[in-house]
């Protein structure tokens, strides 16, 4: 099956207009030694019906019917049907970056509304149109901080998502940045240790709630960074921001995070979107697309890509980033979900997660399991000791149809017996009882 | 039209949320961490939310709406079956951190996608991780660093050579990777100027970044000599796969001598562009670079698949997990539907472009008198000089004829550039209609230039003032200018 319109008659007419006799002649500029003369060694073409069947078979080899208590950065939140309906509008789905604003007011206005939502949630002044995911926006933020402060070190708390830390470390050498990690103590970060590490640092990145689900003393961490002249950068979960304070309200310079929680399916890790917002001081240093309001020739309000002198297609090697294609459609999904929730719905979503997670903690403790960080307040995720190797505990739970969590030993030596358990609004009291039974 | 915030009414609800079951308390968040001011998210009922975004969609133009010959972006048809496939529960509801035994279908798909990319590029190993072409570029340059560091040459090799026709992403990636840029000129036929190149490649050169065919839509006729120059100097070669749609099954970057290639899955392999993204930018590499690829790598043991993190020389990670999986589903489906016919896909893309070029080159200036590949660049220089009608004016007027404009003012080496890429998806009648419009606009430029200057006349907005947007910066809704009470009254007046 192909998606081509050309007929033999078309081909003849077009070749005649061009003035060549075969399609092959069109490739005469390619040196003979570089022509590939064999047929591509790939499987035969499939019809649409065959395609459907083959992909159903592949999908059936994945296991998605176990009760999901797995989180660690990607969460099993509910995605409303209206999100899918909007994303399947061809005018939005099959457009590209709105370089021609008169053709693209729909996407431009949607991004402007998205930027507004992100600023409202994070308490910041400016948001970009999205980054690739929750890890790459951390690297982007480091680039902003390096150039804003002229300093050559960034501090990342060890209780920040390990993949975020890995990506920052991969990017850092190119930026000329050293990465320093501040260890957690009992599941949370000590502001005094952050203050020490932040001396001469460009930024301090911390996560709230942190990777263990624990609520950090975020205002104190931000204050420690500010005290050292480093930019406090909070990595936050959009779903938490109906109940947890906005980073802008406790002194952060930037707020970043993984947007999947709002509007995106888990989809084995992507595509999702990263959000990145900042105080206005950093506006002209931000990476990525930004949409601004303006007027048209008749004086009517409209929207355009703006501050483009930051970007690669104008500034080339002096750009603030190389990003071009971003994650607009996934960010739009986030906007639609947040618009359906409204302030009240977002708060309730947070409260339901809080209540169910608290219930799960209590029930697990009643069944004799210990929390890894018992004295710490958490949001929708918590660490529990399984009394044996956590991967074994996970395997045993799976035989009972429960995917019980994420084995923290993968990233944190010393927590080999600990599972990170996520409880979203989709989980029920009955499913939590199954979790307890599967782990007890 | 109104912003969604201007349609909001206090107390209105969209979607309901599961409430905590009876008897369960919501634990107290410590007061210093609790949110004080609720975010001013929109408050609308579900029907109004759907209607708002539907209304926005009608103010947008996609491939589904019409012809979208945006050069360099490969705006081809996005098959709807692929959207159905990516939504299968076994894909959409799969958590990325499950143990490998629970993701065998996903890993098999990734593995098979890699085989297609290897066959098409003629290289030895793939990383699917990069999220877009630009990130593929950066990842490739990180591999350069790692390769040379492994040979104790990293400190010496500081420069990356890039032609002046390159996408802006190339030089931006060079800076982000901590390299220095060495520009090289384009010669009179639109190839890299090999004489200029020879003076610029030496023991300090880490490598080349090249798009081939170039952003001029021309295949570099000196590619064999270029390969000898770089590999002769011990340097590496990076292929920007932005224009791979011209050469699938026709010429392979690995056979041209390139050591790293990124593939824009959203271009050549039809991941929908989504109004700006998502994309996918896997890289394929020669065996010498495989040890340095990002982790995890998909590995196969007999009939089972696993994610391999045990790569001691890996550069690390450039994004989370193994990559944007939903993009892989769509692109792999696209490849499976063409099979070996991917070659015909590229042939038709090139045929379509040359046909349009033949129809337009006597009316618009053609800077390099050659056959083109999958796209071509014309200049509106003469229209500008004779009638004061610029490439921008032509672009805006095309909107009135029902077409998305081509890319304009790029590449920078061509003044008043119009970069046209039809892709293989379009019927001859569509190509003809677009060419007819281009020819009509050239006549209008002479006869009624003000019609062209004032275009578009048919869009929801007139030409927008981009200078004002950058000067008087408004990048979010200004609630403070519209107090809550006033906003409610406005909202009650309707859309």
Task: Please write the tens of the pLDDT for every residue from B439-466.
Answer: 999 999 999 999 999 999 999 999 999 9
Query: Where in chain A are the domains?
Result: 67-78+345-439, 81-335
- The verdict on a CB contact (< 8 Å) between B59 and A109 is yes
Length of chain A equals 440
Domain A67-78+345-439, CATH class in plain words: alpha beta
Using alpha carbons only, give the angle B479, B480, B481 rounded to the nearest 5 degrees: 90
Cis peptide before B278 (omega within 30 of 0): yes
Write down the mean pLDDT value for chain A.
Answer: 97
Residue among B40, B108, B255 minimizing CB distance to A58: B108
**Span between the terminal Cα atoms of chain B, in Å:** 7
Q: Which domains does chain B have, with CATH numbers?
A: 4-59+471-492 (no CATH), 84-340 (3.40.640.10), 347-464 (3.90.1150.10)
Instruction: Please report the pLDDT score of residue B490 as a whole number.
Output: 76
B476 to chain A, closest Cα gap in Å: 5
Q: How far is A196 from chain B (nearest CA, A)?
A: 23
Query: Does A354 reach chain B within 8 Å, measured CB to CB?
Result: yes
ipTM of the complex: 0.98
**Contact present, A263 and A83 (Cβ < 8 Å):** yes
Q: What is the pLDDT of residues B333-361, one digit of tens each?
A: 999 999 999 999 999 999 999 999 999 99
Beta partners for residue B346, in sequence order:
none
pTM: 0.98
Q: What distance in Å separates residue A197's CA from the closest CA in chain B?
A: 23
Q: Are the C-beta atoms of residues B278 and B324 closer than 8 Å to each other?
A: yes
Burial of B427 (0-12, 13-18, 19+ CB in 10 A): middle
What confidence score (pLDDT) does residue B494 get? 63
Smallest CA-to-CA distance from A160 within A259, A45, A256, A42 is with: A256
Chain B (189-218) residues lying within 8 Å, Cβ to Cβ, of chain A: 218
Q: Tell me if the bond preceding B296 is cis, omega within 30° of 0.
A: yes
Instruction: Quote the pLDDT of residue B487.
Output: 76
Task: Return the closest-CA partner of residue B412 out of B165, B214, B204, B227.
Answer: B165
Tell me, yes or no, if A41 comes closer than 8 A to chain B by beta carbon.
Answer: yes
What is the domain class of A81-335 according to CATH?
A: alpha beta
Q: What percent of chain B has pLDDT over 90?
A: 96
Q: Phi first, then psi: what are they for B263, rounded to 5°?
A: -120, 125
Q: Collect all residues with Cβ–Cβ distance below 8 Å to B336 and sequence separation of at least 6.
A: A43, A45, A46, A51, A54
Q: What is chain B's length? A: 495
Confidence band (pLDDT; 50, 70, 90) for A7? very high
Return all residues near A10 (Cβ < 8 A) that are at least 6 apart: B427, B428
pLDDT tens digit string along A196-254?
999 999 999 999 999 999 999 999 999 999 999 999 999 999 999 999 999 999 999 99
Residues in chain B closer than 8 A to A351 (CB atoms)? 20, 26
Q: State the average pLDDT over residues A310-332.
A: 93
Q: Do B475 and A306 touch (CB under 8 A)?
A: yes
pLDDT tens readout for residues B210-246: 999 999 999 999 999 999 999 999 999 999 999 999 9
% helix / strand / coil in chain B, to the nearest 5?
Answer: 40, 10, 45
Whether the CB of B58 is below 8 Å from some CB of chain A: the reply is yes
Query: Would the pLDDT of B495 be above 60?
Result: no
How big is the CA angle at A108 (ends A107 and A113), to the nearest 5 degrees?
Answer: 95
Give the one of A107, A267, A323 whose C-beta lies nearest to B326's C-beta.
A267
What CA–CA distance (Å, rounded) separates B228 from A50? 45
Contacts of A210 (CB under 8 A, 6+ apart): A157, A159, A160, A184, A187, A188, A189, A216
How far apart, in Å, are the Cα atoms of A316 and each of A98, A359, B160, B415? 19, 53, 14, 18
Q: How far apart are CA A178 and CA B291, in angstroms?
A: 24
Torsion of CA A102, A107, A108, A111, to 10 degrees: 180
Query: What φ, ψ does residue A336 adopt, rounded to 5°?
Result: -65, -45
Helices B325-338 and B104-121, axial angle in degrees (round to 10): 60
Minimal Cα distance from A66: which residue of B?
B102
Say which residue, B396 or A318, is predicted with more confidence: B396
The model's pLDDT over B253-301, given as tens digits with 9 standing for 90+, comes to 999 999 999 999 999 999 999 999 999 999 999 999 999 999 999 999 9
Give B488's pLDDT tier (boundaries 50, 70, 90).
confident
Shortest distance, CA B478 to any CA of chain A (angstroms)? 9
B125-167 pLDDT tens trace: 999 999 999 999 999 999 999 999 999 999 999 999 999 999 9
* B204 pLDDT higher than 60: yes
pLDDT interval class at B251 (50, 70, 90): very high
Cβ separation of B329 and A55 shorter than 8 Å?
A: yes
Number of A–B residue contacts, CB under 8 Å = 687
B45 touches chain A (CB under 8 A): no
Evaluate if residue B17 carries a pLDDT over 90. yes
Chain A touched by B333 (CB under 8 Å): yes
CA distance A435 to chain B (A): 16
């Amino acid at each position: 099956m192909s998606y081509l319109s050309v007929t033999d008659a078309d081909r003849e007419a077009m070749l005649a207009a061009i003035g060549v006799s075969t399609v092959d002649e069109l490739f005469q500029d390619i040196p003979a030694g570089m022509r590939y003369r064999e047929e591509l060694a790939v499987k035969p073409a499939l019809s649409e019906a065959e395609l459907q069947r083959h992909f159903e078979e592949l999908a059936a080899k994945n296991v998605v019917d176990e009760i999901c208590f797995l989180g660690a950065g990607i969460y099993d939140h509910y995605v409303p049907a209206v999100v899918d309906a909007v994303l399947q509008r061809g005018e939005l789905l099959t457009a590209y970056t709105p370089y021609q604003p008169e053709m693209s007011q729909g996407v431009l206005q949607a991004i402007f509304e998205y930027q507004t939502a992100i600023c409202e949630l994070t308490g910041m002044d400016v948001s970009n149109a999205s980054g690739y995911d929750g890890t790459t926006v951390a690297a982007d933020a480091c680039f902003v901080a390096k150039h804003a402060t002229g300093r050559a070190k960034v501090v990342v708390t060890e209780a920040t998502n390990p993949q975020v830390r890995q990506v920052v470390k991969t990017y850092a050498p190119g930026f000329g940045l050293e990465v320093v990690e501040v260890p957690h103590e009992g599941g949370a970060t000590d502001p005094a240790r952050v203050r020490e590490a932040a001396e001469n640092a460009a930024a301090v990145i911390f996560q709230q709630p942190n990777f263990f689900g624990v609520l950090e003393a975020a205002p104190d961490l931000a204050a420690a960074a500010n005290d050292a002249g480093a930019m406090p950068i909070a990595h936050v979960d959009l779903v938490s921001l109906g109940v947890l304070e906005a980073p802008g309200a406790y002194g952060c310079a930037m707020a970043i995070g993984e947007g999947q929680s709002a509007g995106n399916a888990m989809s084995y890790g992507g595509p999702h979107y990263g959000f990145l917002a900042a105080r206005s001081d950093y506006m002209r240093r931000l990476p990525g697309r930004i949409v601004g309001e303006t007027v048209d020739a008749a004086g009517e309000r409209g929207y355009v890509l703006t501050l483009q002198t930051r970007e690669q297609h104008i500034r080339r090697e002096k750009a603030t980033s190389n990003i071009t294609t971003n994650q607009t459609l996934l960010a739009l999904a986030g906007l639609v979900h947040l618009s359906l929730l409204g302030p009240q719905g977002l708060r309730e979503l947070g409260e339901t997660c809080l209540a169910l997670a608290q219930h799960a903690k209590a029930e697990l403790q009643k069944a004799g399991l210990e929390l890894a960080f018992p004295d710490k307040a958490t949001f929708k995720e918590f660490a529990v000791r399984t009394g044996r190797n956590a991967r074994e505990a996970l395997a045993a739970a799976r035989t009972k149809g429960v995917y019980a969590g994420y084995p923290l030993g993968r990233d944190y030596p010393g927590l080999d017996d600990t599972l990170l358990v996520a409880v979203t609004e989709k989980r029920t009291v009955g499913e939590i009882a199954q979790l307890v039974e599967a782990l007890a | 039209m109104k912003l969604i915030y201007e349609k909001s009414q206090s107390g209105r609800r969209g979607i309901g949320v599961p409430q905590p079951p009876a008897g369960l308390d919501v634990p107290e968040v410590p007061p210093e961490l609790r949110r004080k001011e609720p975010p001013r998210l929109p408050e609308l009922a579900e029907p109004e939310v759907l209607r708002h975004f539907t209304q926005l969609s009608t103010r947008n133009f996609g491939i589904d709406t019409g012809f979208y010959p945006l050069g360099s972006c490969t705006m081809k048809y996005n098959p709807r079956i692929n959207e159905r496939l990516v939504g299968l529960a076994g894909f959409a509801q799969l958590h990325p951190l499950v143990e490998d035994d629970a993701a065998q279908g996903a890993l098999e798909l990734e593995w098979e996608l890699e085989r297609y990319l290897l066959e098409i590029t003629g290289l030895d190993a793939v990383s699917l991780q990069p999220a877009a072409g630009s990130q593929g570029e950066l990842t490739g340059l990180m591999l350069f660093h790692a390769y040379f560091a492994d040979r104790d040459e990293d400190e010496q090799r500081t420069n990356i050579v890039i032609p002046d026709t390159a996408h802006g992403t190339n030089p931006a990636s060079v800076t982000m990777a901590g390299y220095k840029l060495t520009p090289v000129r384009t010669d009179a036929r639109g190839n890299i100027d090999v004489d200029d190149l020879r003076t610029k490649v030496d023991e300090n050169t880490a490598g080349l970044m090249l798009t081939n065919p170039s952003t001029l839509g021309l295949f570099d006729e000196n590619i064999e000599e270029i390969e000898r120059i770089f590999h002769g100097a011990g340097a590496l070669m990076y292929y920007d796969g932005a224009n791979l749609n011209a050469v699938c099954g026709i010429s392979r970057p690995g056979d041209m001598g390139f050591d790293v290639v990124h593939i824009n899955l959203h271009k050549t392999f039809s991941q929908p562009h989504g109004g700006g993204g998502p994309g996918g930018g896997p890289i394929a590499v020669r065996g010498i670079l495989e040890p340095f690829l990002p982790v995890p790598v998909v590995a196969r043991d007999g009939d089972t698949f696993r994610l391999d993190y045990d790569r001691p020389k890996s550069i690390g990670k450039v994004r989370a997990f193994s990559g944007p999986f939903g993009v892989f589903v769509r692109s792999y489906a696209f490849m499976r539907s063409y099979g070996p016919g991917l070659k015909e896909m590229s042939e038709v893309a090139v045929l379509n472009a040359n046909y349009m070029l033949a129809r337009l080159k006597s009316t618009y200036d053609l800077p390099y008198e050659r056959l083109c590949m999958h796209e071509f660049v014309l200049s509106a220089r003469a229209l500008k000089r004779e009638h004061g009608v610029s490439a921008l004016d032509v672009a805006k007027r095309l909107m009135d004829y029902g077409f998305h404009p081509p890319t304009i003012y790029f590449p920078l080496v061509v003044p008043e550039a119009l970069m046209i890429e039809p892709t293989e998806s379009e019927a001859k009648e569509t190509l003809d209609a677009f060419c007819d419009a281009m020819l009509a606009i050239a006549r209008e430029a002479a006869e009624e230039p003000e019609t062209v200057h004032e275009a578009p006349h048919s869009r929801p907005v007139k030409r927008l003032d981009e200078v004002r947007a950058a000067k008087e910066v408004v990048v979010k809704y200004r609630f403070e200018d519209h107090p809550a009470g006033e906003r409610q009254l406005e909202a009650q007046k309707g859309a």
